[in-house]
Structure 1
Amino acid sequence: MLKTIDKIDFEKRNGIIPVIVQDVKTKDILMLGYANKLALHKTVETGNAHFWSTSHNKLWMKGEESGNIQPVEKILVDCDSDALLYLVNSLKPACHTGDRTCFHNELKQ
């Protein structure tokens, strides 16, 4: 089923929703970010992953400082319309540490 931006439930979480970023080829989960309507509109408009920084309260494009941009191939919406999955063509590391994915630390039990 196709969804439009106006059908996304941004209000459930005070105007922002979680965005999982996955490599379209390898299926690796690269990172988790957040989007508001502006970030989602910019992602659709430019084709590059944009997010809303909850700590800096501002819009940012992934890779704007590092050069590790994430071209978005497809955006999927979850069944409740309150979370997104960006399928990206990631050629460079996603994590600010230089690792390919932000999920590289295993939890000890």
Structure 2
Amino acid sequence: MLGSLAVVALLCGGLATIGALSNRQSLNHIDVQVTSCESTGSVAKVGFTVRNSGKQARRVTLDIEYRDAAGARLDTDTAYVGNVPAGDTVRGEESTILNAESTSLTCKVVKVS
């Protein structure tokens, strides 16, 4: 009985590892570009494109940072791109309300998952 549990645990662990490797490899086929970054008063808005050069459609999550001219982080946000078909590019836009007004702003995608 104990041997059977060890085999099941090994198989499940192996499947989880294969799934994680597969997910990382599919992210190699995702290219994200910031196309615009602007603020009006305390509202910041970032435009972006997500290109999927892979062979399967992908859902993509972007973690975005907004920084002022001095480089101080003003806010972070998450954008969800529902479906990026294989071989296609999707445009998106995300906005957030900052705690302070900023006349000079930079927007950066810091994580893609």
Q: Give the greater-gyration-radius structure (CA).
A: 2
Q: Could you say whether these structures have the same fold, taking a TM-score greater than 0.5 normalized by the shorter chain as the test? A: no
Compare the two structures and name the one with the higher strand fraction.
2
The structure, 1 or 2, with the larger RCO (C-alpha pairs under 8 Å, 6+ apart) is 2
Compare the two structures and name the one with the higher helix fraction.
2
TM-score by length of structure 2 reads: 0.30
TM-score by length of structure 1 reads: 0.31
